[in-house]
Amino acid sequence: MAEKRKIEAMHQNFGVLPDKRCEECSNLIQGKYHGIHLRKCTVYGATHSAASDWRKKYVACGMYNTEYTGRPIIELLKCAPKCMDNERPIDGRESLYG
């Protein structure tokens, strides 16, 4: 998955906070695995794949320091638009692509 697509999906669904960065967000989890620094966004979805790797420098989305209990965005991107028909809208939006 292209790097740009990840953060664009977050901005499309939750808005953009141009004065904030993901590195300061409580939804960014960081750790080391076999000496490699890993960063994941819990809202986007934390998988065992590089497809969910996150960059600290990304401009934050509207979920900045906000708890999220919905389905991970990466799951919605993988199955869209098929599974979107059965999903609740995110933050009042009609769909991930609408």
* Per-residue tens of pLDDT for the chain, all 98 residues: 456 789 999 999 999 999 999 999 999 999 988 888 899 999 999 888 888 999 999 999 999 999 999 999 998 887 766 555 554 555 555 444 44
Which residue range is the domain that position 44 belongs to?
Answer: 3-86
In a domain, 91, yes or no: no
- Residue 7, number of CB atoms within 10 A of its CB: 20
Q: What is the pLDDT of residue 91?
A: 56
Judge whether 72 lies within some domain. Answer: yes
> For the chain, how many structural domains are there in total?
1
Ramachandran category for residue 68: left, alpha or beta (phi over 0 → left; psi -120 to 50 → alpha): beta
For residue 59, being part of any structural domain is answered with yes
